[in-house]
């Protein structure tokens, strides 16, 4: 995955190192951080476009994010797309969890899945929740899943 900042600046170093450097810099400034990871997707023509974000929340001081975009041409059902979104978020969370634990940074994984059963995305809720919770991560779904439903949504 290639990562960038919201201003378009590419993150050249490996993600693990970039996140560690970010945590160190924020801690040096006396900032308490929380990290929220989420993915959203959208079908555009024959392609499914994905955006995965790592949102760094500064306690009482705003936040910023790292972004990765990807696309796939395979036809996917909505349920498959929702599970792929969750899988991408969990993959990133898993690659960073040891680092976040080391620096005592809270982590949440956000799923762009509606908790209201009248919405079609709800069909993947139980699977997504089970997957995220079984990995030991804190799970958030709509309307609390801002990393996926707001941040990643704007980056597709």
How do residues 40-78 score in pLDDT, each as one tens digit? 999 999 999 999 999 999 998 999 999 999 999 988 888
pLDDT score of 122? 80
Domain ranges of the chain: 3-154
pLDDT score of 132? 93
Cβ burial of 45 (10 Å; 0-12, 13-18, 19+) is exposed
Mean pLDDT over 84-102 rounds to 97
R_g (Cα) of the chain, nearest Å: 15
Lowest mean pLDDT among 29-33, 81-85, 113-117: 113-117
pLDDT of 91 higher than 90? yes
Q: Percentage of the chain surpassing pLDDT 70?
A: 100
pLDDT of 3 higher than 90? yes
The CATH class, in words, for 3-154 is: alpha beta
Mean pLDDT of the chain: 94
pLDDT of 96 higher than 90? yes
Give the C-alpha separation, 8 to 1, whole Å.
15
pLDDT score of 62? 94
pLDDT score of 106? 97
The two three-digit tokens of residue 39, written as one number? 């993915």
pLDDT score of 54? 98
Produce one character per residue of 114-135: b if its CB has 16 or more CB atoms within 10 Å, e if not.
beeeeeebbebbeebbebbeee
pLDDT score of 66? 98
Give the C-alpha separation, 105 to 127, whole Å.
26
């Amino acid at each position: 995955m290639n990562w960038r900042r919201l201003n378009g600046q590419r993150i050249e170093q490996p993600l693990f190192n970039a996140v560690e450097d970010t945590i160190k810099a924020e801690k040096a400034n006396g900032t308490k951080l929380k990290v929220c990871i989420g993915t959203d997707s959208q079908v555009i023509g024959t392609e499914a476009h994905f955006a995965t974000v790592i949102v760094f929340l500064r306690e009482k001081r705003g936040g910023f994010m790292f972004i990765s975009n990807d696309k796939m041409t395979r036809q996917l059902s909505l349920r498959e797309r929702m599970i792929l979104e969750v899988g991408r978020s969990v993959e990133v969370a898993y690659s960073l969890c040891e680092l976040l634990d080391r620096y005592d940074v809270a982590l949440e994984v956000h799923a762009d899945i509606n908790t209201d059963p009248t919405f079609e995305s709800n069909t993947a809720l139980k699977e997504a929740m089970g997957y995220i919770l079984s990995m030991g991560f804190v799970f958030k779904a709509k309307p609390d899943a801002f990393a996926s439903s707001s941040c990643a949504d704007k980056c597709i």
